[in-house]
Amino acid sequence: MARWWPGFCFQCVGAWLAWQAWVPALPDSAAWASQHARVASRDDGKGDAKGWTLSELRRISLKQGPGTTLKVHGVAMMPELFDAAELEALLRAFQDFRETDEAADFKFGELRAQRQAIHIPFQPPFNALPLLGRDKSLLAPLCDCLGQDFVLESALVISVDGGTSSMNAHTDTEDEGSISVHIPLQPLTDGFAPLSFCPGTHGDVELLDRAGAEVRRWRCIGESRMDARKRIAAGRRVKRQALSLHWDGEASALLDGCDLQIGRSCARVRGIQGCTTMGLQVGDEITHVNELSFVAWLRIQADIEEMRSNLVLQVLRPPNVNTLAPPPKLLVGAPLSVGDAIIYDSRTVHWGMANEKTGIRHVLYLNFMSSSFQGYSPDGDAIEAATERCLKERAVFQKQLQRIKAETRPRLA
């Protein structure tokens, strides 16, 4: 026994090291190289130097590998990850299943903005879904980002009715260790509820809080709070124009002619009641009057005659939103073909766009998580509210992933 035991241990260690070296090398395997060649022939890879496009993300992902791209940018694209014909068959089966009474047992959480989530059941054809994609191409980037012991958190379809509005910018979690795979079951175009992403935001968990605080202070003319928050999150911050406006009339005309929202030191023009000669516009912020802060001037103007006429207003005027260039960190996840997929870190700022079509949009999501994940799970609330049947079939999918991973590992010599 003393003779063969060291040799056996050496063989085991050698096999383990081979597995360690093999997983990161998957993107350079023959299967990945073949896929790379097929897709590269469809696109010259130049992208758009002025901002993010799906074409540019595809080029970067194919050049650097999806794992590296995901780590750096928080989002990556994997073209032809699934067989398009298989997904089209899965869509037809899901549409039929969605109309049955048992679909209610698989409802998976409450989503924003009139979106519905249904966990897929473990039955044909759903149980034949390749959870790691064609040629198990997801294995390498998931191992790279989540570790080799990653687990499946959920497998669900999110449906968006025609005419549904867009969502607010959000992250699914602020904690590291969760990745989603976005797999359209229909061709996604701009206007058919694709996702929008802000690449590179997965490392800045306070970004949306800062954007919200800025929006509360001011936003562009013609811009909603929700759109302003998206613009700032996507990297388009703009400055207001500083103006000096001279008002020869009485202070009372200024105060009576404008609907003002008065803050701690300044006032914002919310409306103008038939008096436009002073040059103010809706959205203007009056910071100073005759070199005093607006609020300080307001307190004394009734008592000091010099402060009631011949006024000089210092104003900050926001730009019109229609004059702005697209934000530099805005990536619209369209057009996206059936079979292609986008993978993203759950900390990346993103949102579902509006469905301007009449038909229902269906997208399959595979959500993965590190086995050592600590924090708020994107699916935590849905799991807590799910039915016993849904949880049982979810567990079967989880076991199936582990079997696939076990079969992929090289056998010990």
- In the chain, residues under CATH classification 2.60.120.620 are 25-201+329-408
First CA to last CA distance, the chain: 18
Position 214, amino acid: E
Longest dimension (CA), the chain: 107
The answer to whether the pTM exceeds 0.85 is no
Superfamily of domain 25-201+329-408: q2cbj1_9rhob like domain (2.60.120.620)
Please name which of 106, 100, 103 lies closest in space to residue 390, comparing C-alpha atoms: 106
Q: What is the pLDDT of residue 49?
A: 42
Three-class SS of 102-152: HHHHHECCCCCCCEEEEECCCCCCHHHCCCCCHHHCCHHHHHHHHCCCCEE
Q: What is the pLDDT of residue 250?
A: 82
Instruction: Name the burial class of residue 85, with classes exposed (0-12), middle (13-18) and buried (19+) by CB atoms within 10 angstroms of its CB.
Output: exposed
Q: What is the pLDDT of residue 308?
A: 84
Architecture of domain 241-317: Roll (2.30)
Alpha helices in 301-360 (DSSP H): none
Q: What is the pLDDT of residue 68?
A: 97
Q: What is the pLDDT of residue 272?
A: 87
Side-chain-side CA neighbours of residue 375 (13 Å):
15
Q: What is the pLDDT of residue 368?
A: 98
Q: What is the pLDDT of residue 294?
A: 94
Residues of the chain with pLDDT under 70: 1-50, 113, 274-277, 409-413
- In the chain, residues under CATH classification 2.30.42.10 are 241-317
Instruction: Name the burial class of residue 27, with classes exposed (0-12), middle (13-18) and buried (19+) by CB atoms within 10 angstroms of its CB.
Output: buried
Alpha helices in 251-387 (DSSP H): 251-257, 294-300, 380-385
Distance CA 238, CA 169 (A): 19
